[in-house]
Structure 1
Amino acid sequence: MQVNKDGRDWRIGTADDVGWIAGHTTAGVSVTTAIPPAFDAYATTYQADDATAAAYEHALVEHLTTHTRDQPWWLAYLDTGAHDVVFPHAPRVFLYWNWPYVLVQAGPEQALTWRTGGHMRHGRGALPDLFFPADRSWLVSALWDDTWTCVGGPAPLIHALQRDPVANAREVQPDEDALPPGLVRE
């Protein structure tokens, strides 16, 4: 299926496009609750109080783009009923605990600009709730009830995120509690 936005058609994803995620995460408090245990390194990241949503999201996307060859990205917007899913009439794919997502193939520019109604994490920002490149070399996922975001990918990407104070990332091990210091579970 295709949907039109910004004067062009965009491919809507199916369960096959996220089959590598569905059923491959583990329930609990570790990063592998959001990210399958298939990556070299993992991190959690969140917008610090001294950074704007735009600065934080641009820093995150800039690092992802730098560590990714030119290719489409899959952007997924969780349908909570209260947050912008960009394409409200598009079919859904289901992940995690049968949560409905709108999945569309686009790119980093769209990841930063399409969502205008904010997201779950404090209602600010434009980023999708889950996104990854076509080659699946990394995955970014923020679960419905978390105020932070989990990332899995190559070690150089995770280390670059760690070094950037605006990206505000910390490396975690797959079996480690993903909760960033200073944050609480809701």
Structure 2
Amino acid sequence: MQVKKDGRDWRVGATSDVGWIAGHTTAGVSITTAVPPVFDAYATTYQADDITAAAYEQALIEDLITHTPDQPWWLAYLDTGTHDVVFPHAPRVFLYWNWPYVLVEAGPEQALTWRTGGHIRHAHGALPDLFFPADRSWLVSALWDDTWTCLGGPEQLIHTLERDPVANARRVRLDEDALPPGLTRE
């Protein structure tokens, strides 16, 4: 199936496109609640109070682009019933605890611009709730009730994010609580 936006057609994803995630995460407080244990390194990231949503999201996307060959990205928007899913009539894929996502193949530019109604982490953000490149070399995932974002990927990507003060990333181990210092669970 395809959807139209910005004067072109975009491919809508199916269950097979997220099969590598579905059923490969574990309930709990570790990073593997949001990201399957298939990557070399893991981190959490969140927008610091003194950084705008636009600056934070731009920094995160730029760091990801730096470590990703040119290819499509899968963008997934969690359907909470109140947050912008960009394509409200598109079919859903189900992840985690059978949560419905709209999954569309696009790219980093669309990740920064498509969502206009905010998301669960803050009212002014544009980023999808889950996204990854076609080669599955990394995964960025923010769960419904978390105010931070989890990611897994190559060691060098995680190192770049740790060094970027705007990305505000902290490396985590698979067995470690993913909750960033200073934040609380809802």
Same fold per TM (> 0.5)?
Answer: yes
Tell me the equivalent position of 2:71.
71
Tell me the equivalent position of 1:155.
155
Of the structure 1 ranges 117-126 and 36-45, higher mean CA displacement relative to structure 2 is found in: 117-126
Name the amino acid aligned to 1:185. Answer: R
Residue 124 (structure 1) shift: 2.3
User: Identity of paired residues, percent?
Assistant: 85
Tell me the equivalent position of 1:38.
38
- Superposed CA offset, 1:5-64 (max 9, x none): 000000000000000000000110000000000000000000000100000000000000
User: Are 1:93 and 2:93 counterparts?
Assistant: yes
Tell me the equivalent position of 2:29.
29
Name the amino acid aligned to 2:135. Answer: D
List gaps (5 residues or longer) in structure 1. none
Q: Which runs of 4+ in 1 moved over 3 A?
A: none
User: Are 1:60 and 2:67 counterparts?
Assistant: no
Tell me the equivalent position of 2:114.
114
SS in 2 for 1:173: coil
| Distance (Å, rounded) in 1 between the aligned partners of 2:42 and 2:82 | 29
Tell me the equivalent position of 1:132.
132
| Distance (Å, rounded) in 1 between the aligned partners of 2:122 and 2:3 | 28
Name the amino acid aligned to 2:64. Answer: L
Name the amino acid aligned to 1:164. Answer: D
Aligned length: 186
List gaps (5 residues or longer) in structure 2. none
SS in 2 for 1:43: strand
Tell me the equivalent position of 1:48.
48
SS in 1 for 2:160: helix
Normalising by structure 2, we get a TM-score of 1.00
Tell me the equivalent position of 1:177.
177
- Superposed CA offset, 1:71-97 (max 9, x none): 000000000000000000000000000
Residue 134 (structure 1) shift: 0.1
Alignment of structure 1 residues 5-16 onto 2, 5 Å: 5-16=5-16
SS in 2 for 1:80: coil
Name the amino acid aligned to 2:131. Answer: F
Residue 147 (structure 1) shift: 0.1
Name the amino acid aligned to 1:171. Answer: R
SS in 2 for 1:105: strand
Name the amino acid aligned to 2:34. Answer: A
| Distance (Å, rounded) in 2 between the aligned partners of 1:174 and 1:116 | 33
- Superposed CA offset, 1:98-134 (max 9, x none): 0000000000000000000000002220000000000
Normalising by structure 1, we get a TM-score of 1.00
